[in-house]
Amino acid sequence: MRAHDVVVIGAGLAGLRCALELARAGREVVVLEAGDTVGGRQRTDAVDGFLLDRGFQVLNPAYPALRGVVDLDDLQMRSFPVGARVRRADGVATLAHPLRHPQHLAATLSSGLISVSEITALVRWLAPARTARAFADAADDELFAGWDAAGVRGPLRREVLEPFLAGVIADDDGRTSQNYVRLLLRLFTLGRPGLPASGIAALPAQIAVTTRRAGADIRLSHAVRRLRRHRGAWELKVAGADVIRAQEVVVAVDPGAVAAFTGLPSPAARGLQTWWFAGTEAPASALLSVDGTRSGPLVNTVEMSRTAPSYAPPGRHLIAATSLYGARPAATEGEVRAHLRHIWGPVAEGWDLLRRDDIAAALPALPPPMRRAAPSRIGAGLHVAGDHRETPSIQGALMSGVRAARGILG
């Protein structure tokens, strides 16, 4: 039985990017994916004429790992407004980027959420992310501890940054690396985060097309049941198929499955729960909404179809609502609906629930100190890739795939 050059287990972003790098270098690559489509956590389903991503997802075109790999024009990106709508104890306030949304400048200045002292402290805290050298030398700490030390204390932190970032990093306790959050916020300022017109699944689908054109073989519905080293090569037992041999194997699976293939401990993960609602009446704003009063389980909610009309059929509106999942009792539909009414007002009364996504391992946890990229090679001819080896993001997943490929190529 001939051994392939490389077999990649998993056709998520890390596995696809690894296979593309190897194929472009002339290696013979086979990708084995247990599911019926590529993408891993980046999936989109059509439900009653709506496009529902597997959880609320955002693609930032400023991610460096997208360059030379992804055609953003072909994805027909739809960008979210840069700002937030904030439910406060005395009403609703608006914060928006003054240059990108100058029509909201007066509302932003009169919101009661910004002060010279807190903005100055926040800028001082963000300063290490301005240059690679300063960032490399920056001391790390838990996020909230870092804010405390920098003097970031006020309504901007309590009512906007804390709930907003809870939905981004799946952490409302502030235990995530402050250096990672600095990096994220810098990328947010550089890019216009949004979504492909046909859903987040368009991203891995496009990379898969490029990977196949480069010469890689991507096999769907090929679940690897066993991986073992035998006579100087790796043997992979695949459900319903012949045993496959390979000189090198890259394990690029979900964090929960890493231990089964590698013997490494499963990476700690954080969970998110997203509720998808349909309505005939549009919410009041296209801005991402957060609740500064913290009076319910939701960390954010947004009308998707205001930004990406293709996400809903004509005359209908798609609303996403996200809460944390796993660290505490899961939110009930009644609690979510009550919180939506608090945030959006009476318009939320008539919304129909389309689906709920419970994603226990939405993101790998990243406590301080922000780790350097973990080595991809973990044994003879055995490598591992995934955002748990870099940073919990699309950027991290893609970069981990590149690093695994370069570890093989030398």
Query: What pLDDT, on the 0 to 100 scale, is given for residue 104?
Result: 83
Length in residues, the chain: 410
Q: How far apart are CA 21 and CA 3, in angstroms?
A: 20
DSSP 119-170: HHHHHHHHGGGGSHHHHHH----BHHHHHHHHT--SHIIIIIIHHHHHHHHS
- What the chain holds in terms of domains, given with CATH numbers, is 4-43+201-268+368-409 (3.50.50.60), 83-190 (no CATH)
Q: How far apart are CA 301 and CA 385, in angstroms?
A: 32
216 within 8 A of 22, measured Cβ to Cβ: yes
2 within 8 A of 239, measured Cβ to Cβ: no
Query: What pLDDT, on the 0 to 100 scale, is given for residue 300?
Result: 97
Walk along the chain (410 residues) and give the pLDDT tens digit of each residue: 668 999 999 999 999 999 999 999 999 999 999 999 999 999 999 999 999 999 999 999 999 999 999 999 999 999 999 999 999 999 999 998 887 888 888 888 889 999 999 999 999 999 998 887 778 788 999 999 999 999 999 999 999 999 999 999 999 999 999 999 999 999 988 889 999 999 999 999 999 999 999 999 999 999 999 999 998 999 999 999 899 999 999 999 998 899 999 999 989 999 999 999 999 999 989 999 999 999 999 999 999 999 999 999 999 999 999 999 997 788 999 999 999 999 999 999 999 999 999 999 999 999 999 876 678 999 999 999 999 999 999 999 999 999 999 999 98
User: Is the preceding peptide bond at 369 cis, omega within 30 degrees of 0?
Assistant: yes
Query: What pLDDT, on the 0 to 100 scale, is given for residue 97?
Result: 83
pTM: 0.95
Residue carrying structure tokens 């957060």: 290
Name the nearest CA neighbour of 176 among 396, 389, 399, 392: 392
155-205 confidence digits (pLDDT tens)? 999 999 999 999 999 999 999 999 999 999 999 888 899 999 999 999 999
Query: What pLDDT, on the 0 to 100 scale, is given for residue 372?
Result: 66
Q: How far apart are CA 44 and CA 322, in angstroms?
A: 16
DSSP 330-351: PPPHHHHHHHHHHHH-GGGGGP
Name the nearest CA neighbour of 200 among 60, 302, 81: 60
Q: How far apart are CA 218 and CA 18, in angstroms?
A: 12
Residues 6+ apart with CB under 8 A from 123: none
